[in-house]
Amino acid sequence: MPRKKIALIGGGQIGGVLTQLIAQRQLGDVVLFDIVENLPQGKTLDIIEASRIDDMNVSVTGTNDYKDIAGSDLVIITAGLPRKPGMSRDDLLVTNAKIMKSVAEGVKTYAPNAIAIIISNPLDAMVTLFQKVTGFPANRVIGQAGVLDSSRFSTFIAMELGVSVRDINAMVLGGHGDTMVPLVRYANVNGVPVQEMLERKYNDAKKAKEVMDAMVQRTKMAGGEVVNLLKTGSAFYSPASAAIMMAEAVLFDQKRLLPVCAYLNGEFGVNGFYVGVPAVLGENGVEKVIELTLCEEEKAAFDNSVNAVKSLVDDMNRLGL
Residues annotated as catalytic are: 176
Count CB atoms within 10 A of the CB of residue 296.
7
Q: Are 234 and 83 in contact (CB under 8 A)?
A: yes
CA 130 to chain centre: 14
Query: Whole-angstrom Cα distance, residue 163 to residue 306?
Result: 33
Q: How far is the CA of 95 from the CAs of 70, 91, 92, 321, in angstroms?
A: 26, 9, 6, 10
N- to C-terminal Cα distance for the chain?
A: 41
Q: What sign for the dihedral angle of Cα 282, 133, 75, 11?
A: negative
- Longest Cα separation, the chain: 62
Q: What is the DSSP letter of 246?
A: H
Q: How far is the CA of 174 from the CAs of 76, 80, 269, 305, in angstroms?
A: 21, 22, 13, 5
Secondary structure E strands in the chain: 5-9, 29-33, 60-63, 74-77, 115-118, 141-143, 168-169, 172-173, 181-182, 188-189, 192-193, 256-265, 271-282, 285-289
Query: Whole-angstrom Cα distance, residue 280 to residue 81?
Result: 30
Q: Are 143 and 36 in contact (CB under 8 A)?
A: no
